[in-house]
Amino acid sequence: MIERYAIPEMTGIWTTEARYSRWLEIEVLAVEARFKAGLVPLEDYEKIRDNACFSTDRVNEIEEVTRHDVIAFLTSVSESLGPESRHIHYGMTSSDILDTCMAMQIRDSGDLIMEALKQYGEALAGLVRRTRGIVCMGRTHGMNAEPTTLALKFAGHYSEYLRCVKRLEDGLKSSCVGTISGAVGTYAYLDPSVEEYVCNRLGLGVEEVPTQVVARDRHAQFLYALSSIGGAMERFATECRHLQRTEVGEVEERFGKGQKGSSAMPHKRNPIVGERLCGLARLLRGYLVVGLENTPLWHERDISHSAAERFVFPDACGVTLYGLRKAAELASGLKVLENAVTENVENAGDRYFSQSIMLALVRHGLTREDAYALVQKIAMDAMESGESFAGSALANGEITGVVPREELGNICTIDNHLRNEDYILGRVGLS
């Protein structure tokens, strides 16, 4: 993770020192499990528990020769002990500590991400509450469609946030599993109770059918959860960026005192946070691809996944946490320019009543095709002439011959588009 976007709480989880500390914790717990089973003498267990340690510098020195980080680590630990070191790593393989450690790192990272995700959700909920009842133009294909409210617009992002929470919960449950099962996952030299003891003590699940490793589809599910969070942030950021465009001008990112928008143009106030979130989402999708590529390992395991994972997991977790904190800032600080919102609705004219009139004609007996053709012609003519669409419809004998003028007047009201705001918001607990 590059320093510009690094968050210390997250980077601390993925340091080499932190990884070795977890490896040692796993190794000591495995000895403890065998001690409780009567397989390790009390004196040996106590010496290991009290004295086992490592030196990162020494591990690095040994690895220069062994070209194997786990063996280098185990050698360093053994140097801190006496003959009792024979109980360390008994019946285990490298992936027993690598993958169990990975589960611990994902769990701890997931805790930080979940906290930030919920803060983002709270910021979205606040944005929904403060924009309730503010009528805006809904747009499809980038074009004016029918009126909606800003609250409903932002509530859709809150609903997506709720789904992200569920996906993250599922991804963490799937990936936070360990294994202490030996060279090819058969527990040939260890009883499965050792694995259960270690994983229970660490708060992890257990891989049901291990090979030499934890199945990588589990990790891919976690990376998908992070990617979906990235997509949610990107969709919200894209909405804000479009609404901030000069020709729309309905919202603005917070622009701090002394902030600059352009080295060349002093007048610029650019949506840089939203743009940054869109860029970070691309990274998260890329990390997911790597996770999927890591899934089909050879037979009981190959090492093709290892180097990729050393990059992907620290960066994916770091990018997600950073992005969520920025997304929460964007949502909580978003400035709504209500006058511009209202002007855009007024400037759209009244052509958005076209469906109301078309359906009134259908209710009074016209086929949908005939009603559509009649209303479309009036709408297109009004667009070119600049006249009121509703006024043109009320003056059209073909329409008033089917639908009474009074009924037409009653249906050409913006309230019809807004009456279900509370009902829809209630579906996501924001009524």
**What is the token pair recorded at 382?**
């009004």
From CA 429, how far away is CA 424, in angstroms rounded?
9
66 contacts 165 by C-beta, under 8 angstroms = no
From CA 218, how far away is CA 199, in angstroms rounded?
16
205 contacts 199 by C-beta, under 8 angstroms = yes
Show the CA angle centred on residue 111, arms to residues 106 and 117, nearest 5°. Answer: 115
**What is the token pair recorded at 153?**
């617009």
Residues constituting the chain: 431
Centroid of chain to Cα 419: 32
Per residue, the 3-state secondary structure of 394-405, as one string, reads: HCCHHHHCCCCH
Residue 370: exposed, middle, or buried by beta-carbon count in 10 A (0-12, 13-18, 19+)?
Answer: middle
* Residue of 410, 411, 409, 390 whose CA lies nearest to 348: 390
Name the maximum alpha-carbon separation found in the chain: 103
- Residues linked to residue 251 through DSSP beta bridges, in sequence order: 336
* Residue of 62, 147, 79, 65 whose CA lies nearest to 414: 147
From CA 325, how far away is CA 38, in angstroms rounded?
49
Catalytic center residues: 141, 262
One-letter amino acid at 189 equals: Y
* Residue of 249, 328, 330, 234 whose CA lies nearest to 284: 234
One-letter amino acid at 291 equals: G
Q: Which long-range contacts (CB under 8 A, 24 or more apart) does 389-395 make?
A: 389/349, 389/350, 389/351, 389/353, 389/354, 390/350, 390/353, 390/357, 393/353, 393/357
HSE (side-chain half, CA atoms, 13 Å) at 356: 22
